[in-house]
Every structure is written in structure tokens, then in C-alpha cells.
Amino acid sequence: MTLPIAVLVSGTGSNLQALIDRIGEGVLPARITAVVSNKSDAKGLARAARHGIPAIALPPADYPDRAGHDAALLAAVRDSGAKAVVLAGYMRLLSPDFVAAYRNRILNIHPALLPSFPGMHGQRDAADYGVTIAGATVHFVDEQMDHGPVVIQAAVPACPDDDAASLGARIMTLEHRIYPQAVAWLATGRLAIHGCKTRLAPADAPPADLSDVTPCLVNPPLEAGF
């Protein structure tokens, strides 16, 4: 069972690279049918091309209005043969028509523990707020921005000296772990949506080794006696 996916990017595409790498390693049963971007100069497009993946630029300025751009985006994704859509740093809200066409088959990754800090600057907003735990969320996409049933979240410590860059780098390490995992769950039919919640069907797989990242549920750490 290999899921054909289209990946939408606007920037660097490091999450795209994580998906490409896990597919190459044979642990993610997916095939990337196209990488589509609203930015012609997105590094993610060049990354796709280097890996022989069709890379399509659809700059909004080439279309008379938002509806026209959204229709072209949907056509490009459909024509690629994708059965699901993976947003990997795609910085535009999808139209209701697009969401309806791929309902419950669109995933997004956001660099904050949703529903906290939605929007363009999740890491910066979390750092500025002074939270002590930050993280990343993979969720199904609905019509609202950074909203929909949560699939997986990962938490990292945040420190008073953190800024968007330092906190973002810590979060990114885990983004690259959890996004391929979430797409693999989608590809193998393990995810079911019940209302606002996602249920994951169990598997026999052993837990991953996370010893190279800082596991954190409570930060600062509790001290003896508590």
C-alpha cells in the first residue's frame, strides 16, 4: 500500500526532505506525485527537482483572483494523481473547495502546540509569550487556519533566552520526526476522525528511539519530592 501524495511548500522544504528521506529508506509507504508551490523561488521546488519529483510553481500573481489560483492548484494536485495532500510550510489558506475535494486527506504541520499560537509565527509567538514548553503539531486540515483534528504533537523545552530561531530549531528537529510518522499512519489507513478527534489504530511496532532528542513533558523539570 503506497499512498500517492502531493506536497505543498512555500519555503525551504526541510520537512519535504524528511518525507523524501523516509520514503527512500522504505519506512514511509508513500510516493510524492508532485511538489507545488505558490513561490517560484521556493527552495523546496529545487529540492524536489533534484530528487526527480515534478516541481510546479503556481504564483498567485499569474491568476486574476484567489478562486482562479485555487482552481489551478486543485487541478495540479489532482492531475498529479495524488490521493492526499501534505502541507509542508505552505503559507496560504486553502479554499473551501480544495478542502472539500480532499476532505480528511490533507495534513499540515505547525510549529506550536495547537490550539496555542496559530498563524505565521508560531515559534516567535511562543518564545515571546514566555512559555516553558513549546512544540509542533500535525493535524488534519479544515477550512480554518492551523485548525483541524490533531494527529500527533511533540513537546520541547523553551527557555527565557529563546528567540524564534533557537526555539524554532529545537522544534524543527521533532517536526522532521513526527511528520513522516503522521503521513505513514495516513498511508496505512491507521487514522480515523471522530468529531474533532483523531483515533490511531494500534500497531505492533515497537516505540522509536528518541534518545537523541530531549523528551519533555514538564519543564523546568520537577525536583525531588514533587
Binder among 11, 29, 60, 118 for ligand GRF (CB under 6 A) = 11
Minimum Å distance from CB 56 to ligand GRF? 16
Query: Quick one: 63 or 181, whose CB is closer to ligand GRF?
Result: 181
Q: Which of 153, 198, 144 is nearest to 174 (CA)?
A: 153
Q: Using CB under 6 A, which residues numbered 70 to 99 contact ligand GRF?
A: 88-89
Minimum Å distance from CB 111 to ligand GRF? 4
Alpha helices in 25-163 (DSSP H): 43-50, 66-79, 96-101, 122-129
Binder among 39, 47, 69, 110 for ligand GRF (CB under 6 A) = 110
Binder among 12, 116, 153, 188 for ligand GRF (CB under 6 A) = 12
Tell me the helices (H) and strands (E) count for the chain, helix number first: 6, 9
Whether 110 sits among the annotated catalytic residues: the reply is: yes
Helix (H, G, I), strand (E, B) or coil at 27: coil
Query: Quick one: 14 or 153, whose CB is closer to ligand GRF?
Result: 14
Binder among 6, 7, 13, 34 for ligand GRF (CB under 6 A) = 13
Minimum Å distance from CB 73 to ligand GRF? 17
Binding residues for ligand GRF, rule CB under 6 A, total 13
Q: Using CB under 6 A, which residues numbered 174 to 193 contact ligand GRF?
A: 175
- Length of the chain as a residue count: 226
Instruction: Give all strands of the β-sheet with 197-200 in edge-to-edge order.
Output: 55-57, 30-37, 3-9, 84-87, 106-110, 133-140, 150-157, 197-200, 191-194
C-alpha distances in angstroms, 147 versus 98, 115, 116, 197?
15, 8, 11, 12
166 contacts: CB under 8 Å, gap ≥ 6: 127
Active site positions, annotated? 110
Site of interaction with ligand GRF (CB under 6 A) = 9, 11-15, 44, 88-89, 109-111, 175
